[in-house]
A = this chain, B = another copy of it.
Amino acid sequence: MNPLENIRIVLVEPQSSGNIGSICRVMMNMGMTDLAVINPHERHDWDEARRLACHADTVLDARKTFQTLEEAIADCTVVAGTSARTGLHRDHAGLPREIAPIVLDSAAHHKVALVFGREDSGLTKEELAVCTHIINIPSSEIYRSLNLSHAVMICCYEIFLLAGDPSYRPPEERSPETSVEMRERVYARWEEMMIETEFCQPQKLEHMMLGLRRIFSRGKLTDNDARILLGLAQQSLWVCDQWKKEKERGDEPI
């Protein structure tokens, strides 16, 4: 399978109909066809979108609509979100040219996603948290903010170029990479474990979880890895449970 066909472009609450159409054209120019739109508002002018899609109206027609980002990326392994901010995500943020091989390597065997936020405010902190990687598009200090369709173009262009580079070799798959859905199950269990083991104060929980996401996004996470991490948390939770029961028994009047 052509890896470019495994790349899903995900638009979170896009406001401009023209941008959606332009992005369809960009996608087809760069050999991609899988478009997901999260929670589009009802007033979209789909004729305007079609006009700007030009000959890429097939991409527009085949788009899938989702209520939440989580649904749109549930079957994906690598999920790369774009953000002008780095901050907390410094460890797994990179330039489009740096993230392109990570996306393309994974797309050789799995569904992957490139996620783009709203025209005016980008992706929320919560949306960035479910991304395994963050893309920072370089731009001039005098005017940082790119039009949405141009941001999509730069990311897709770098991946398209790499895919066509004769020196690029996709990796052989050893153990299947895990999906976002499985990743999220792992995180949910580890969060529970942090609470039950009293590992950190509740107000620090969110920060700790972000740290954990960073650690587990640094390299590939296979299904096997995910099962180990899940099992470990479950075992720890079992111990917590035993401990509570013992305490209760100890507290009982003799």
Contact = CB atoms under 8 A, between A and B. Distances in A.
Given A150-B150, A153-B154, A29 B164 contact: no
A149 interface: yes
Nearest to A158: B157
The count of identical subunits is 2
Nearest to A31: B140
Contact of A140 (B139, B150, B160): B160
A31 B142 contact: yes
B26 A150 contact: yes
Nearest to A154: B157
Interface residues of A, number: 30
Contacts of A150: 22, 25-26, 29, 149-150, 153
Contacts of A18: 18
B22 A143 contact: no
A138 interface: yes
B31 A147 contact: no
Nearest to A55: B143
Interface string A138-175: 11101111110110011001001100100000000000
Contact of A28 (B26, B54, B56, B142): B142
18 contacts: A18-B18, A22-B150, A25-B147, A29-B140, A29-B143, A29-B145, A30-B139, A31-B140, A54-B145, A54-B147, A56-B143, A97-B161, A138-B160, A138-B161, A138-B164, A150-B150, A153-B153, A154-B157
